[in-house]
Amino acid sequence: ILNVEQSPQSLHVQEGDSTNFTCSFPSSNFYALHWYRWETAKSPEALFVMTLNGDEKKKGRISATLNTKEGYSYLYIKGSQPEDSATYLCASSNYGQNFVFGPGTRLSVLP
């Protein structure tokens, strides 16, 4: 069973600050790394899927990078806004399409 870890566990930033989180995952049998945004009382929503070492994805003020050789991914938020407050999950999937999620990073953006 894969073990996916995320840090920090929680984070409080001021509106306008930029921030980043880390997701680490085992490299063995790796197929893809997934990032999700999860607002309270809602379902997780997919942000990015990355498969290749060096992949970079961007959606608005949010971007992500992937390093499969060392087994980590970063999620960046530029100019945080209160509506960015959510839990950010990462998950690693293998070729058998088994997903393992990390525990998440809870972000609070203070106005």
Smallest gap from Cβ 67 to other proteins, in A, equals 21
The secondary structure of 70-108 as a DSSP string is TTEEEEEESS--GGG-EEEEEEEEETT--EEE---EEEE
Smallest gap from Cβ 107 to other proteins, in A, equals 15
Closer of 46 and 110 to other proteins (Cβ) = 46
Closer of 9 and 69 to other proteins (Cβ) = 9
Q: Where do we find the tokens 């959606």?
A: 59
DSSP state of 59: E
Task: Dig out the tokens for 102 from the structure.
Answer: 């990390």
Q: With contacts defined by CB under 8 A, how many residues of the chain interact with other proteins?
A: 19
Asked if 46 touches other proteins (CB under 8 A), the answer is: yes
> What SS3 state is found at 3?
coil
C-alpha to C-alpha distance for 59 and 77, rounded to whole angstroms: 10
Q: Which of 49, 57, 67, 78 binds other proteins (CB under 8 A)?
A: 49
Of 17-25, 53-61, 73-81, 98-106, the window that binds other proteins (rule: CB under 8 A) is: 98-106
Smallest gap from Cβ 39 to other proteins, in A, equals 12
